[in-house]
């Protein structure tokens, strides 16, 4: 017996798996147990997510106002950079957005290219080396990646760049390395799961490999690609350990350049939760957490719009 995933044959099941599936499929009680197990598992996941969202909304929504973001500064003055925001989250929101955009611009093109190479072009030892490197990089803890960035700055200060310091660019580079495996593996898996008939459609119509990839395979695998991109953006938005060692500060104002310090929402949440002196400061931390959640949802919406635009471009 062979299990098919997305029309592509997978590995044959072993004798023990076949015996267990035959046992469950042949008995009404077994089918009922599997159905109940699936429903309970789904309910646990949905309940956990709903409880988390409701808890964040109940604690963060009451403090979600203009003062949370801009403090004592005027809204227009803060947004135009004319007034510094010392006790609000506006600078952290701007820093997080800049960090996510910069990281995505670095990681997504390389990740999608690596996934295409892994699925379509790489063979033999090259494919094994590329897949092993992606999986090994995916297993690196974020704190180790932060230490790598910090060590890189120390090396540069003692060699060719004595003025080098932790900054927004260094944080984005380290985060791009951290999220790169998600995009590579998601792209390769989305392309590998396409039906064999779809792979043969382009050559049968006289298309070149690039034409088949651009007009047939990539549009068909766009949902999988989008999943990898969204996962990468979410990871870049929430990670704290990497930026903690590579450039984030508690009060740095708006990001003024790639080589400057910056603020970020994940670090603001950590700082407020660890150093709060009153319930109002703790509630401000919950407000920051809810803001980060909303920002992630907005990024997801932007990714879906980008996917729709890419599909229209591909089908022309």
If you average pLDDT over every residue of the chain, what do you get? 84
Give the Cα separation of 191 and 217 in Å (integer): 7
What is the helix (H) or strand (E) element at residue 101, kind and residue range? helix 90-116
Give the Cα separation of 310 and 300 in Å (integer): 15
Residue 9 has pLDDT above 50, yes or no: no
Residue 149's pLDDT band, with cuts at 50, 70 and 90, is very high
Write down the residue that tokens 């290219």 correspond to. 113
**What residues contact residue 68 under an 8 Å CB cut-off, 6+ apart?**
88, 89, 284, 287, 291
Instruction: Please list the alpha-helical segments (H only) found in 164-264.
Output: 168-192, 196-204, 209-212, 218-220, 222-238, 241-244
Stretch 71-88: mean pLDDT, rounded? 81
Give the Cα separation of 10 and 20 in Å (integer): 18
Residues paired with 9 in a beta bridge:
4
Residue 315 has pLDDT above 60, yes or no: no
**Cα four-point dihedral sign 31, 34, 37, 39:** negative
Residue 209's pLDDT band, with cuts at 50, 70 and 90, is confident
Which range among 34-38, 54-58, 82-86, 241-245 shows the weakest confidence by mean pLDDT?
Answer: 82-86
Stretch 294-302: mean pLDDT, rounded? 81
pLDDT of residue 51: 94
pLDDT, tens digit, for every residue of 163-198? Answer: 889 999 999 999 999 999 989 998 998 888 888 888
With the CA atoms of 239, 244, 248 and 251 taken in that order, what torsion angle do they form, in degrees rounded to the nearest 10? 110
Residue 50's pLDDT band, with cuts at 50, 70 and 90, is very high
Residue 243 has pLDDT above 80, yes or no: yes
Q: Evaluate whether 281 touches 63 at the Cβ level (below 8 Å).
A: no
Give the Cα separation of 234 and 179 in Å (integer): 9
pLDDT, tens digit, for every residue of 82-110? Answer: 888 878 888 899 999 999 999 999 999 99
Long-range CB contacts (within 8 A, 24+) of 137-141: 137/177, 137/178, 137/180, 137/181, 138/181, 138/182, 138/185, 140/178, 141/241
Residue 92's nearest CA partner among 226, 285, 259, 234 is 285
pLDDT of residue 107: 93
Q: Which residue has the higher pLDDT, 73 or 1?
A: 73
- Strand intervals (E) in the chain: 2-5, 8-12
Residues paired with 2 in a beta bridge:
12
Residue 271 has pLDDT above 80, yes or no: yes
């Amino acid at each position: 017996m062979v299990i098919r995933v997305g029309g592509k044959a997978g590995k044959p099941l072993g004798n023990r798996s076949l015996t267990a599936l035959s046992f469950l499929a042949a008995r009404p009680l077994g089918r009922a147990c599997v159905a109940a197990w699936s429903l309970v598992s789904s309910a646990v996941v949905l309940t956990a997510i709903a409880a988390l969202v409701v808890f964040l909304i109940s604690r963060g929504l009451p403090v979600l106002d203009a003062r949370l973001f801009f403090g004592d500064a005027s809204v227009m003055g803060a947004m135009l950079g004319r007034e510094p925001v010392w006790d609000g989250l506006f600078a952290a929101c701007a820093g997080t957005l800049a960090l996510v955009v910069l990281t995505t611009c670095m990681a997504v093109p390389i990740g999608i290219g690596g996934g295409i190479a892994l699925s379509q072009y790489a063979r033999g030892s090259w494919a094994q080396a590329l897949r092993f490197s992606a999986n090994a990089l995916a297993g690196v803890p974020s704190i180790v990646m932060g230490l790598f960035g910090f060590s890189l700055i120390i090396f540069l200060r003692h060699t060719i760049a004595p003025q080098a310091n932790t900054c927004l660019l260094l944080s984005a580079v380290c985060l791009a390395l951290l999220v790169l495996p998600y995009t590579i593996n998601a792209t390769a898996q989305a392309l590998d799961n396409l039906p064999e008939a779809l792979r043969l459609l382009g050559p049968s119509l006289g298309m070149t490999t690039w034409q088949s990839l651009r007009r047939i395979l990539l549009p068909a695998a766009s949902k999988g690609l989008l999943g990898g991109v969204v996962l990468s953006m979410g990871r870049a938005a929430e990670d704290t350990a990497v930026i903690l060692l590579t450039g984030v500060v508690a009060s740095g104002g708006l990001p003024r350049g790639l080589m400057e310090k910056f603020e970020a929402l994940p670090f603001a949440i950590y700082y407020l939760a660890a150093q709060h002196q009153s319930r109002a400061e703790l509630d401000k931390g919950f407000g920051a957490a809810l803001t980060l959640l909303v920002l992630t949802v907005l990024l997801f919406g932007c990714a879906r719009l980008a996917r729709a635009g890419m599909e229209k471009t591909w089908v022309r």
